[in-house]
Structure 1
Amino acid sequence: MRRSRGFRSNTRRILYIGRSVRRTITKTLRTFDIGDKVLIKHDASVQKGMPHPRFYGRAGNIVEKRGIAYRVAIKDGNKDKSVIARPEHIRKM
């Protein structure tokens, strides 16, 4: 049988929820301005709007707001990529 390679495979340490971590409403209500430099850090207690784990720890700029989420432009080698993430998963630098 082939090994499954799902969206959250090999993410045991990246998407770990610590015992002392408590989700607060302020993380959800955070706002960012266009052009802000942000860091993608997943909050494993919130599954909605979570970017792919390969973008964990990447830095980028806010390009636009899409509903509740934000579009973040990042550089992946020579390519420009955009990631859509909710405010719980991004932090200001």
Structure 2
Amino acid sequence: MVKHSKGYRTRSRSLLRKNPRERGAIPPLSRLMYEYKPGDYVVIKINSSVYAGMPHRRYQGKVGRIIGKRGRAYEISVKVGSKEKILIVRPEHLSPFNVNKG
């Protein structure tokens, strides 16, 4: 028999699974072209069809703040428990966080 894989994506099949009609689809261009500015808040939504710049699955659904840009990717500050983490994530895995003001 083959030894069971223990990589960090083995336990995330249901978390990163797409609907059959979305499989293999590239992300919409509006999501890639969106320019984030430092201080903007974003939601980390992992797109499993794009492997580059993918954050760890523990950050799926977290809200973070843009710190700056590094190449095509963005540096994001995310609070995990009592710690502040800095992630480098490409825009395929980000979406703007809209806060209702007022």
Higher RCO structure, 1 or 2 (CA under 8 Å, sep 6+): 1
Distance in 1 separating the partners of 2:35 and 2:6: 34
Instruction: Give the TM-score normalised by structure 1.
Output: 0.88
Query: Gapped runs of 5+ residues in structure 1?
Result: none
Query: Gapped runs of 5+ residues in structure 2?
Result: 98-102
- The residue that corresponds to 2:100 in the other structure is none
Aligned-residue sequence identity (percent) comes to: 37
Q: Counterpart of 2:15 in 1: which secondary structure?
A: coil
- The residue that corresponds to 1:60 in the other structure is 64
Distance in 1 separating the partners of 2:4 and 2:19: 28
Instruction: Give the TM-score normalised by structure 2.
Output: 0.81
Q: CA RMSD in A?
A: 1.7
Which structure's residues are more often helix, by fraction?
A: 2
State how many pairs are aligned. Answer: 93
Shift of 1:73: 0.2
